[in-house]
Structure 1
Amino acid sequence: MQLHYKKIGEGQPLLILHGVLGSLDNWLTVSKTIADAGYAVYLLDQRNHGRSPHHEQFDFTTLAADLEKFIAEHSLQNPILLGHSMGGKTVMQYAVTHPGTFAKLVVVDIGPKAYPPHHGELLRGLNALALDQIESRQQADELFSTYEPNAGVRQFLLKNLYRTDQGTFAWRFNLPLLSRDMKNVGDAIPASAPVTEPTLFMRGEKSDYILDKDWEAIQEQFPNARLETIAGAGHWVQAEQPKAFVAALLTFLEE
């Protein structure tokens, strides 16, 4: 599968993978700051998201295989891997199956443990939008607000709307497949030989994705890991506190 991507800057390759229902566009702003620090930043759309192809196979083994193929096709040496949420699980899956092929690992607001499905209401709302009858993004936002009261979350999701050549709206992500297989996004990353590469786990102070009680098990799987908590941030750490996020990231990368 040929993943859609954008490259910004020159230097050591740093690959960024977005979360579920997101796309590489979510990372454009902070990626420019990271690139200015001397990195070649590769922003990837994972399969069934953004402008990458849709495919029926969708699990972390497959997503990690997509990442492996991308690294090989672009002849990237000693890359740094960064993933948020679903993307964090993808890079962890890659790390446990391809040790010694990357320099450092950054996992943003997700752990290797299993998570119960919790996007049901969002998916119901997205599926309830009759896109062939919607005439504007504002109308879509008003209809979607019945299911999601948070304007920021609505704005994030509705970025995936685009107009087709026929003038109607459509989703960039593969909504039917994600609605069916969203449970796969919560799968645990299986324990294997410890991942010894330097690893940074970042979490939002207001998020409950990585709990204090999770840390011991994380360190067993990633013994060379440390945890950074970003004050004032929830799950979307890089979007809610971009300056603090980039500062913590660059400090880790430059060590």
Structure 2
Amino acid sequence: MSTPMLHAVTSGESGPRVAFCHGLFGQGRNWTQIAKGLADICRPTLLDMPDHGRSPWTERFDYAGAADLVADSLRAIDDTEPWIVVGHSMGGKIAMLVALRHPELVDRLCVVDISPAATTSFSEFETYIAAMQAMDLGSITTREQADASMREAAPDPGVRAFLLQNLRREGDGWRWQPNLEVIGRDIATIGGWPTDEVAGLAPFDKTVLWLAGERSLYVTDDDLAEMRRLFPRVRLVTVKGVGHWVHSEAPEVTLQALRALITSSR
């Protein structure tokens, strides 16, 4: 039986292949602005992660399996040259596993505001999932109603808009694109880190850019040693004045950093 491929959108006409892996409840299109800003020097591919967007659903979430799906999808697009892989949050953990499990596939890596460690500030997502699952889709007629129903769980309008991008029209009704059942059941795995599976893998000895938001709690000093052990050629860049959503809060800084990574010599 053939392996299901992840949904992917590729742009650009020449230059290195660059894959973007989004975070929990994101979609590949969240990286559209960055991809457009890089399309003159590379060929960006925006991926929907497993159980998200228009990619296939799985029966359970685990980082090794997600990384293998990403690797298989990238090889299906182009197996003639290695990729630069960029990942944010959950997608950053997946990207790290792609590099560690498939080092021949990855030329360079960029990890955006996440660490190779269990994430301690992930509990708000459990609240969001519960509210999404509790929404009575049969009684919702407008996005405004859906927004109102999420207001208590997600008071920040930007967070609600981000979550509600996953609510799609289907005929006269609505459906959630993400696999809420699996994501809700396996949220502890998504917030964790597969220490045992990583233990037997060799360090990834190629260039790694690590972007962290100055105000974020997802990258801490305690994470430095493990990141440097797994990725000995890592360079940490802290982006001033931003939180977890580095690429949307500071797109120009992100573009500049990625352009430097893409155009740098190995």
Mean Cα displacement is larger for which, 199-208 or 71-80? 71-80
Distance 1:69 1:220 in 2: 26
Which residue in the other structure is 1:126 paired with? 132
Measure the CA separation in 1 of the matches of 2:133 and 2:77. Answer: 36
Q: Cα deviation per residue 1:46-98 (whole Å; 9 max; x = unaligned)? A: 11100111121321111111112112212241110111111111111111112
- Conservation of the 8 A alpha-carbon contact between 2:116 and 2:223: no
Q: What SS does structure 1 have at the residue aligned with 2:39?
A: helix
TM-score (norm. length: structure 2): 0.91
Aligned to 1:155: 161
Question: Which residue of the other structure, out of 251, 254, 257, is the alignment partner of 1:245?
Answer: 254
- How far the C-alpha of 1:220 sits from its partner, in A, is 1.3
Determine which of 208, 220, 243 is the counterpart of 1:199: 208
Aligned to 2:237: 228
2:110 is aligned with 1:106: yes
1:43 aligns with 2:46: yes
For residue 5 of structure 1, what is the aligned residue in structure 2? 8
The aligned counterpart of 1:72 is 75
Residue ranges of structure 2 left out of the alignment (5+ in a row): none
- Select 2:59's aligned residue among 56, 60, 77: 56
Which of 166, 174, 177 is 1:169 aligned to? 174
Q: CA deviation at 1:33?
A: 0.4
* Structure 1 unmatched runs, 5+: none
Instruction: Tell me what 1:24 maps to.
Output: 28
In structure 2, distance between residues paired with 1:149 and 1:68? 37
CA deviation profile, 1:207-255 (whole Å, cap 9, x unmatched): 0101123212211111000001111211111111111111122122222
In structure 1, how many angstroms separate the alpha carbons of the residues matched to 2:108 and 2:193? 21
How many angstroms does 1:198 deviate by?
Answer: 0.3
Look up the match of 1:88: 92
1:99-148 superposed Cα distances (whole Å, 9 cap, x missing partner) = 23221001111111122452211112111211111111111111101111
Cα distance in structure 2, aligned partners of 1:64 and 1:4: 14
Task: For 1:157, give the aligned amino acid.
Answer: L
Alpha-carbon distance between aligned partners in 2 of 1:206 and 1:228, rounded to the nearest angstrom = 13
CA distance in 1, matches of 2:147, 2:153: 10
- Give TM-score scaled by structure 1 length: 0.95
Q: Return the alpha-carbon distance in structure 1 between the equivalents of residues 87 and 150 of structure 2.
A: 27
Local SS of the residue matching 1:103: strand
Point out the more displaced range, 90-99 or 144-153. Answer: 90-99
Structure 2 residue identity aligned to 1:28? T
Query: How many angstroms apart in 2 are the aligned matches of 1:252 and 1:68?
Result: 21
Q: How does 1:179-190 map to 2 (within 5 A)?
A: 179-189=184-194, 190=198
RMSD, matched Cα: 1.3
SS for the counterpart of 1:14 is strand
Runs of 4+ in structure 1 over 3 Å off: none
What's the CA shift for 1:174? 0.9
Query: How far has the Cα of 1:151 moved from its partner?
Result: 0.7
What CA deviation, in whole Å up to 9, does each residue of 1:167-218 have, x standing for no partner?
Answer: 1111111111111111111231423321101001111111010112321221
